[in-house]
Amino acid sequence: MHSKTSTRSHRLPLQRKLDHNTHPLIWLLAIICTIIAIAVVIAGIVVFIGYLVIHPRVPVISVTNAHLDLLRNDYAGLMETQVTIVVRAQNGNAKAHATFAGIRFNLTFDGQDIAMLVANPFDVPKNSSRDLNYVVQSSSIPLTPDQVEEINQAWKQNEIAFDLKGDARTQWRVGPMGSVKFFCHLNCRLRFHPLNGTYIPSRCTSKSK
Ligand SMILES: *[C@@H]1O[C@H](CO)[C@@H](O)[C@H](O)[C@H]1NC(C)=O
Ligand SMILES: *[C@@H]1O[C@H](CO)[C@@H](O)[C@H](O)[C@H]1NC(C)=O
Ligand SMILES: *[C@@H]1O[C@H](CO)[C@@H](O)[C@H](O)[C@H]1NC(C)=O
């Protein structure tokens, strides 16, 4: 009997003590969870800003110069042309080599295929670029009456447009472990003065995915 009351009186203060200790623990846990949540949000923001800063430096492909060397169309509706196009593959990354592969661009006039520009895979060292010089020669391109009319109009206005459209795959080699891959998509309108062949510069840079 005596011992029973003794245990009970012992248990009660102990239980009260535990309750007192549990509350700060939960608070501590809540604080830690909050800190972790804030850290995750901050890390996310840092990654996002880092992405925004790095993004313009992803490998890009652009047309830096061009020239219309020849443009001729006859009464049978056949076109002959030669176009020089300088395509620049640029690796703005100061820490990794970039590999460009699967380059395939179609040059067209008003939907009519003129030529396909391709390149073997190549490397571009850190923070540098490489120019690909294409001299596209094409003859006996059959034109529809509408396209002939388009060319006559181009001569009159001294302005002709070709479309350059296509894709390339690029990747950074990051250490021995892996790589970061990108997909460059180019879709440009190249405009020239047919009377003297001058290229009318415009922005022609790939969009990455
Ligand atoms: C990258 O190249 C540009 C010019 O080619 C140069 O001004 C810049 O300092 C280079 N950056 C690095 C990190 O090497
Ligand atoms: C380029 O032309 C080829 C052959 O005409 C066609 O198969 C391909 O889909 C074209 N690519 C683009 C991006 O238009
Ligand atoms: C070519 O012709 C255009 C339009 O007439 C002119 O603006 C341009 O300066 C000429 N270019 C050269 C190299 O003569």
Ligand 2 and 118: CB distance under 6 A = no
CA 96-97-102 angle, 5° bins: 130
Choose between 178 and 134: higher pLDDT: 134
146-166 confidence digits (pLDDT tens): 999 999 999 999 999 999 999
Pocket perturbation via mutation, ligand 2, pick of 103, 107, 116 by most ligand atoms within 8 A of CB = 116
pLDDT score, position 23: 82
126 CA: nearest ligand 1 atom = 14
* Contact between 178 and 198 (Cβ < 8 Å): no
81-121 confidence digits (pLDDT tens): 999 999 999 998 888 889 999 999 999 999 999 999 999 99
pLDDT score, position 3: 45
Ligand 3 and 193: CB distance under 6 A = yes
pLDDT score, position 7: 46
* Whole-prediction pTM: 0.75
- Flag whether pLDDT at 56 surpasses 70: no
Percentage of residues of the chain with pLDDT beyond 70: 84
Provide the 8-state DSSP code for 206: P
Ligand 1 and 95: CB distance under 6 A = no
Whole-angstrom distance, CA of residue 140 vs CA of residue 120: 27
Question: Per this entry, what is the length of the chain?
Answer: 209
Ligand 3 atom 3, closest CA: 193
Ligand 1 atom 1, closest CA: 127
pLDDT score, position 1: 45
Task: Give the mean pLDDT of the chain.
Answer: 86
User: Across the chain, which distance is largest between two alpha carbons, in Å?
Assistant: 124
Nearest CA to 165 out of 119, 106, 108 is that of 106
pLDDT score, position 16: 54
Which of 31-45, 54-68, 134-148, 189-203 bottoms out in mean pLDDT, i.e. has the lowest? Answer: 54-68
